[in-house]
Structure 1
């Protein structure tokens, strides 16, 4: 299962069939936008130590860490 940091202000675009089941967003106090299957992006905030799980099921995904740029890394994604 890939597990990577998503730096502040950066976007991860995951192609169709790249996330077979679920995408997990692990937060350290981060705001982010996520779009699944080409739908409009929806804003979320994740608290320190929390995890949001999205059923992706082979759809395309775009996730952007919208936390202000100054500061330590604060988000990881895994799938």
Structure 2
């Protein structure tokens, strides 16, 4: 019974999940993401990753003390 008690301690109840403060924008995206097909999901995630990499590239370029060869 002790093992079950430890397992139960790590679980989140439905009430706790419902009471989470999740931004509406995140919920809207999650709903949209659940409705689209797998190919569309892959394309969307690819676009997100590419955009994030572009942002990271811009951040690195603006660091004056780094000598980064042009790899892009």
Higher relative CO (CA 8 A, sep ≥ 6), structure 1 or 2? Answer: 1
Structure with the higher strand share, 1 or 2:
1
- TM-score band, normalised by the shorter chain? under 0.3
Q: Tell which structure's C-alpha radius of gyration is larger.
A: 2
Q: What TM-score does the superposition give when structure 2 sets the normalisation length? A: 0.20
Q: What TM-score does the superposition give when structure 1 sets the normalisation length? A: 0.19
Structure with the higher helix share, 1 or 2:
2
